[in-house]
Amino acid sequence: MYPIVRKEVLNPQVTLLEVAAPLIAAKAEPGQFIIFRVKEGGERVPLTIADFDREKGTVTIIFQMVGKSTKELGQLGEGDSILDFVGPLGTASHLTGYKKAAVIGGGLGTAIAYPQAKRLHELGCEVHAISGFRNKDIIILEKELNAVADKVVIMTDDGSNGNKGFVTDALRSLIESGEEYDLVVAIGPLIMMKMVSERNRPYGIKPIVSMNPIMIDGTGMCGGCRVKVGGETKLACVDGPDFDGHLVDFDAAMKRQGMYKRQERDADCRLLGGNGHA
């Protein structure tokens, strides 16, 4: 059992849990992930590690309550325990040797981009953080990003924070204003990672994206997390989750993500006590 030592509701949909998992905290690196199972009969769900504290022996996860399993996880509070918590899985991000990086988070992706920004900052790289949200009420991690980034740009779809537009717009104006990045890290919805990768293709800046497909074991066993990268089939759990955004077949990945939509809806209805099938 893995006790929850801190819980923070970041916005109505997004929750932060700091979990006591000293063995994982001792080895975790930015870009790696854990798999949790809330209780007996629960699914195994991968979540990227949002932060870790080797001294306290804790691992922080930030997640959106979208499906049955993340909702069950979100219902736990401080002092409760998660039944299974395994990691650190996946290959750590390669972040050494860069001078100036744009670290881009789309919505919840900001939580996954944050450890990368933090590590780049620790390595002496100049970090520009760009995050996008639907509106100002659901902005997360602004304070944390300010602590590790030399520049923070937060965009909202509706302009409610006074900065209307998408992260791709912000990236373009920074590049056009003369910022010379040798690395772009883009983490968020598949469509956002695709757009960012496409947008910087003419500039030849290497984009690192983080794939989070459906998987079971996280060790290369099930093969469920297949992604097409540069024409080859890769497993996100062991070959990734980071890949070169210029090589990822995002369209195929978006189709694979929809595999269990019907079952997710059914399970969700049961969880909420609903009986309508939308």
Partner 1 sequence: MPNISPNKVPMPEQAPDIRNKNFLEVTHGYDEAMAMEEAARCLNCKHKPCMTGCPVSVKIPEFIALVAAGDFEAAYHKIKETNALPAVCGRVCPQENQCEKHCVRGIKGEPVAIGRLERFVADWYMKNRTPELPAIQPNGHKVAIIGSGPASLTCAGDLAKLGYAVTIFEAFHTAGGVLMYGIPEFRLPKAIVQKEIDALREMGVDIQTNMVIGKVFSVDELLESGYDAVFIGTGAGLPSFMGIPGENLNGVYSANEFLTRINLMQAYRFPEVNTPVEVGSHVAVIGGGNVAMDAARCAKRLGAEHVSIVYRRSREEMPARAEEVEHAMQEGIEFQMLTAPTEMLGTEDGWVRGLACVKMELGEPDASGRRRPVAVPGSEFVLEAETVVVAIGQTPNPLIKNTTGGLETHSWGGIITEENGATSKPGVYAGGDAVSGAATVILAMGAGKTAAAAMDAYIQEKKE
Could you list the residues that contact partner 1 (CB under 8 A)? 23-24, 27, 37, 41-44, 68-69, 83-89, 216-224, 226, 228, 233, 238, 252, 255-256, 258-260, 263-264, 266-267, 270
Burial (0-12, 13-18, 19+ Cβ within 10 Å), 274: exposed
Q: Which of 125, 164, 176 is nearest to 148 (CA)?
A: 125
Nearer to partner 1, 80 or 84 (CB): 84
Which CA distances in Å does 275 have to 165, 223, 241? Answer: 38, 33, 36
Q: Following DSSP, what letter does each residue of 204-256 receive, concatenated?
A: TPPEEEE-----SSSSSSS-TTEEEETTEEEETTTT-SEEETTTB-HHHHHHH
Give least dist CB 43 to partner 1, A: 4
Smallest gap from Cβ 190 to partner 1, in A, equals 13
Q: How far is CA 41 from CA 44, 66, 69, 173, 191, in A?
A: 10, 18, 10, 48, 32
Give me the residue label for tokens 């469509």. 191
Which residue's CB is nearer to partner 1, number 121 or number 234? Answer: 234
Length of the chain: 278
Q: Which of residues 199 and 234 has its CB atom nearest to partner 1 in the complex?
A: 234
Nearer to partner 1, 3 or 165 (CB): 3
Cβ proximity to partner 1: between 69 and 156 the closer is 69
Q: How far is the CB of 36 from partner 1 (least distance, A)?
A: 10
Q: Which helix (H) or strand (E) covers residue 254, if one does?
A: helix 250-257
Q: Which residue lies nearer to partner 1 by CB, 174 or 238?
A: 238
Question: In terms of CB distance, is 83 or 191 closer to partner 1?
Answer: 83
Q: Based on CB atoms, which residue is closest to partner 1, 87 or 105?
A: 87
- 159's CB contacts (< 8 A; 6+ apart) are 165
Helix then strand count (H, E) for the chain reads 8, 16
How many beta carbons lie within 10 A of that of residue 251, not counting itself?
Answer: 11
Whether residue 234 contacts residue 240, with contact meaning beta carbons closer than 8 Å, is answered with: yes
d(CA 243, CA 230): 10
